[in-house]
């Protein structure tokens, strides 16, 4: 009985070992298969990444070409066109429709991208002067025209314009105001006011009185798109962060109606539409041409102050662009988002970079 029991036990152990070995072999083969899949996954992901990278280079080349052509024609102007336009601006209709691509080892994929002009938007960093101080009032009690511009935009979007003062406090370097560290540090998860230029549009969500609803209204007219893709807010930008040599400008050849209406009190929906119709026929070649169009052709009777502000803020060319490039290789995708600064020679530097 004792022997039999021992044998049975031995058998159990042997069987146990076999089972265990069996499991080990099975596990190893899973591991091997898994290994192959991993190698394959990494390889394809890398292919997709390099194809997207090629797409970013293509976007930079489009911007460079556009600048070279403009210089050849002795002009510096950027506008939105269709492919049918004889003066087409190729960058403005870079398409999300993917273009087939093949790598040197025969792997096929597609790449598509879109370029957005950041100069067509209102830059929130312009609420602060070059010295880091918030622009509140200029000469007596009149609000600084740049602040008035942003407040008009808030009104157009149906948001309390006083919130703009909180954005000024957030960016300006001092700590005097209602919406400064003294306020934010006492919140449940307290933090300090930034007291520096904004780096992303999503920073708005940290600012006093800006909740989700307000944020979505400001960035994309209330859609969820803005949250997933803050760079593509059609109206607001933070580029450039620091005031450029020529000052902050808005390109009136590319700005959406809501932005055009924010420029001046007298630009209503109808005037904005007139501007859009006019620039579709013929883009504005110089800021002065735009001012004259408002003053004389549309009879807006601009004041001296209006004209002086417009000659500061109105631009007809663009230096800041965001681009989104997506590559798809055998089911693996890679998206690269960049913000580019184009210099006078047409070369672009990358200001923002994100890989998804
Ligand atoms: Ca151009
Ligand atoms: Ca501050």
Q: How much distance in Å is there from the Cα of 239 to the middle of ligand 2?
A: 19
* 84 and 154 part of one domain: no
* 179 and 156 part of one domain: yes
* 146 and 189 part of one domain: yes
From the number of C-beta atoms within 10 Å of its C-beta (0-12, 13-18, 19+), residue 170 rates as buried
Q: How much distance in Å is there from the Cα of 177 to the middle of ligand 1?
A: 42
Ligand nearest to the CA of residue 64, numbered in listed order: 1
Q: How much distance in Å is there from the Cα of 130 to the middle of ligand 2?
A: 14
Q: What is the pLDDT of residue 189?
A: 92
From the number of C-beta atoms within 10 Å of its C-beta (0-12, 13-18, 19+), residue 123 rates as buried
* 231 and 99 part of one domain: no
Q: What is the pLDDT of residue 102?
A: 79
Q: How far apart are CA 325 and CA 129, in angstroms?
A: 34
| pLDDT above 50: residue 18 | no
Q: What is the pLDDT of residue 9?
A: 45
Q: How much distance in Å is there from the Cα of 281 to the middle of ligand 2?
A: 44
* 141 and 37 part of one domain: no
- Enter the DSSP assignment of 99: E
Range of the domain at 86: 1-120+319-356
Q: What is the pLDDT of residue 91?
A: 77
80 to 210, 233, 282: CA distances (angstroms): 32, 17, 11
The domain that holds 135 is classified in CATH as: 1.10.40.60
| pLDDT above 90: residue 246 | no
* 184 and 256 part of one domain: yes
How many percent of the chain have pLDDT more than 70? 82
3-state helix, strand, coil in the chain (%, to 5): 50, 15, 35
* 156 and 295 part of one domain: yes
The domain that holds 38 is classified in CATH as: 3.30.1300.30
* 72 and 138 part of one domain: no
Single pTM value for the model: 0.84
* 91 and 167 part of one domain: no
When divided into structural domains, the chain yields a total of 2
Q: How far apart are CA 102 and CA 104, in angstroms?
A: 7
* 157 and 199 part of one domain: yes
CB atoms within 10 A of CB 324: 24
Ligand nearest to the CA of residue 63, numbered in listed order: 1
* 265 and 334 part of one domain: no
| pLDDT above 60: residue 150 | yes
Helix spans in the chain (H): 2-72, 145-156, 163-171, 181-184, 212-220, 225-228, 257-263, 269-281, 287-292, 304-313
| pLDDT above 80: residue 59 | yes
CB atoms within 10 A of CB 181: 15
* 136 and 266 part of one domain: yes
């Amino acid at each position: 009985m004792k022997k039999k029991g021992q044998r049975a036990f031995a058998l159990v152990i042997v069987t146990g070992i076999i089972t265990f070995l069996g499991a080990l072999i099975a596990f190893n083969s899973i591991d091997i298969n898994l290994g192959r899949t991993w190698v394959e996954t990494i390889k394809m992901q890398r292919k997709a990444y390099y194809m997207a990278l090629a797409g970013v280079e293509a976007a930079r080349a489009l911007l460079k070409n556009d600048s070279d052509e403009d210089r050849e024609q002795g002009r510096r102007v950027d506008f939105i066109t269709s492919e049918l336009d004889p003066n087409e601006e190729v960058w403005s209709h870079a398409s999300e429709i993917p273009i087939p691509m093949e790598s040197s080892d025969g792997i096929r994929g597609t790449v598509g991208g879109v370029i957005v002009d950041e100069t067509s938007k209102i830059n929130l960093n312009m609420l602060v002067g070059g010295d880091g101080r918030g622009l509140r009032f200029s000469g007596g009690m009149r609000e600084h025209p740049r602040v008035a511009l942003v407040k008009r935009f808030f009104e157009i979007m149906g948001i309390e314009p006083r919130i703009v003062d909180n954005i000024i406090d957030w960016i300006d370097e001092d700590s005097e105001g209602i919406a400064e560290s003294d306020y934010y540090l006492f919140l449940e998860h307290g933090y300090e006011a930034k007291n520096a230029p904004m780096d992303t549009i999503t920073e708005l969500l940290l600012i006093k009185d800006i909740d989700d609803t307000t944020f979505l209204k400001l960035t994309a007219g209330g859609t969820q798109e803005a949250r997933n893709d803050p760079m593509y807010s059609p109206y607001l930008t933070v580029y450039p962060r620091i005031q450029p040599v020529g000052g902050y400008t808005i390109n009136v050849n590319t700005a959406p109606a809501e932005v055009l209406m924010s420029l001046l009190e007298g630009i209503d929906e109808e005037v904005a539409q007139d501007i859009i119709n006019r620039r579709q026929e013929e883009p504005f070649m110089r800021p002065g041409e735009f001012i004259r169009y408002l003053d004389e052709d549309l009879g807006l009777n601009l004041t001296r102050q209006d004209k002086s502000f417009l000659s500061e803020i109105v631009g007809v060319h663009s230096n800041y662009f965001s681009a989104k490039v997506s590559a798809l290789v055998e089911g693996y995708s890679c998206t690269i988002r960049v913000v580019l600064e184009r210099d006078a020679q047409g070369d672009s530097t990358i200001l923002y970079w994100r890989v998804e």
